[in-house]
Structure 1
Amino acid sequence: MEILGYILSVFIGISLGLIGGGGSILTVPVFVYLFHLEPTLATSYSLFIVGLTSLTGTVYQYSKGYVNVKAALSFGLTSVVTVFLVRKYLLPEIPDILLQVGAITVTKSTAIMVFFAALMLAASVSMILGHREKELIGGQTNLVKLLGYGVGIGLVTGLLGAGGGFLIIPALVLLVKIPIKKAIGTSLFIITINSLVGFAGDLGHVYIDWQFLFKILAITVLGVIIGSIFGRRISGDRLRSGFGWFVLTMGIYILSRELF
């Protein structure tokens, strides 16, 4: 199973390089089901992998002129603060057993994976229908919605260790009116900041196996380089749709495994 985990790590990087998100939502399931890590630890490791992998993609996209630094910093401010607060103060305070009624016990780990599966289902719909984003560009930028998106993305990143690219890209396209190609590069920059700040909030709370992390990182970085190169030649709509169906399948599998 670990061999499969290493193989899927390549695709995590490829997805980040191709569509500026999506791959990070596979990282936690790979760590939990294939490397047999506890879900809370898996979210911490995911933040490290996703953050540095996205940084590699950001550097490449920036060299091609596909990163809007000003938009990334203004949009990412609320999400960065939210991520840090969630990882540093909220997550450690959540009890291991959330609910116990008779023989039914809902643990923190189960809740995280169920929440993650629900997020994957929502993400898959967003990716499958992503081609509609271009049709909706227009109107005035709504600052309240933008700030709300930042907090929401921060909660997702902080609780689940996912970069939130599937939320960031539509927000950049619809609210900030950034072209889709530049939104992908800008999304990687925001994911980098959010993920690494979230991981910093974990230091001192969890045990870090640095050798394992850097091994996975080397694989995902290779993937993001491959994805960034091929992303310039492949239709973004086809990429999002195909990956969306894959994420939908994974979400259904995780949900059924955790509940039944």
Structure 2
Amino acid sequence: MFIVFIGASLIGLSLGILGAGGAILTVPMLIYGLGYSEKVAIASALLIVGSISATTALIGIKQKKVDWTLVIYFGGPSMLSAYVGAWSSSYVSGATQVIVLAIVMLAAAWRMFHSFKPQAPNELNRLLTIMQGIGVGLLTGFAGVGGGFLIVPALVLLGGLVMSQAIFTSLVVISINSGAGFIKYQSILHESNLLLDWSTITIISIIGILGSFIGQRYSMKLPQQKIKHAFAVFLTIMAIFILCQKLMINT
């Protein structure tokens, strides 16, 4: 229970403060902390992160900090490709999915060490936003990664949003991506006779939602750059551990 509480709190805080990181933390926690199989962990992570993101996004919707035009540009293609990513995952092993996740974690860590500045959107940027949305959706469906570490910079750089808008818009996109991916995973789990632990999913989601509210409340008062760097170091260590563990098992 202690692992669940700490892990769920970190998931919620990362989503509330950074608009990212929730799914990247959730999948390893479920696999190595609670002993879930890879595919059950990914499906559960999609539901958990989707629930936390959707609930926290309500704050941004109420404060009118969600850019619905960019939700359509980014979230529409991303939602469709998330379903495709989940469908493609049925043709590979769970170990392969987790290895891809670890590689994505390294990419996320690298991205968090780099700052970015907003720029005015134009037609080319909108096209790139659609293309990046497709890529993020594929990752979400295939590896259970919400892609917030890509969505937030994309919305800032390509959409010209301020950070608070980017975070809340990212949470809306993550929630619809996670929902689309989870819909497909239900059939994948059913075909494999795998079941979800709904009580644990509910507990983690509730704790994560509370953590996300706290993180969002204090996000503008905290040193985000230092938090990102610390989170990046943590992701790097975890990714190396996962790669070593999976590659040693497969050799």
Give the secondary-structure state (helix, strand or coil) at the position aligned to 2:187.
coil
Q: Give the alignment's TM-score, normalised by structure 2.
A: 0.90
CA RMSD of aligned residues (A): 1.7
The answer for the alignment partner of 2:192 in structure 1 is none
Count residues in correspondence: 242
Give the secondary-structure state (helix, strand or coil) at the position aligned to 1:37.
coil
Give the secondary-structure state (helix, strand or coil) at the position aligned to 1:177.
coil
CA distance in 2, matches of 1:188, 1:239: 19
CA distance in 2, matches of 1:71, 1:169: 11
Matched, 1:157 2:155: no
Matches of residues 238-257 of structure 1 in structure 2 within 5 Å?
238-257=226-245
Distance 1:13 1:139, change over 3 A: closer
5+ residue gaps, structure 1: 96-107
Distance 1:65 1:242, change over 3 A: farther
Does the 8 A contact of 2:52 with 2:212 survive in 1?
yes
Percent of pairs with identical residues: 32
Does the 8 A contact of 1:141 with 1:175 survive in 2?
no
Matched, 1:118 2:117: no
* Per-residue deviation, 1:232: 2.6
CA distance in 2, matches of 1:24, 1:51: 9
The answer for the alignment partner of 1:213 in structure 2 is 201
Give the secondary-structure state (helix, strand or coil) at the position aligned to 1:49.
helix
CA distance in 2, matches of 1:151, 1:256: 30
Matches of residues 1-260 of structure 1 in structure 2 within 5 Å?
3-87=2-86, 89-92=87-90, 94-95=91-92, 108-129=93-114, 131=115, 133-134=116-117, 137-138=119-120, 140-142=122-124, 143-206=126-189, 207-260=195-248
* Per-residue deviation, 1:205: 2.9
Q: Which amino acid counterpart does residue 164 of structure 1 have in structure 2?
A: G
Give the secondary-structure state (helix, strand or coil) at the position aligned to 2:142.
helix
Residue by residue over 1:73-92, the C-alpha shift from the partner in whole angstroms, topping out at 9 and shown as x without a partner, is 221111101111232x3222
CA distance in 2, matches of 1:23, 1:204: 24
Q: Which amino acid counterpart does residue 33 of structure 2 have in structure 1?
A: L
Q: Give the alignment's TM-score, normalised by structure 1.
A: 0.87
Q: Which amino acid counterpart does residue 190 of structure 1 have in structure 2?
A: V
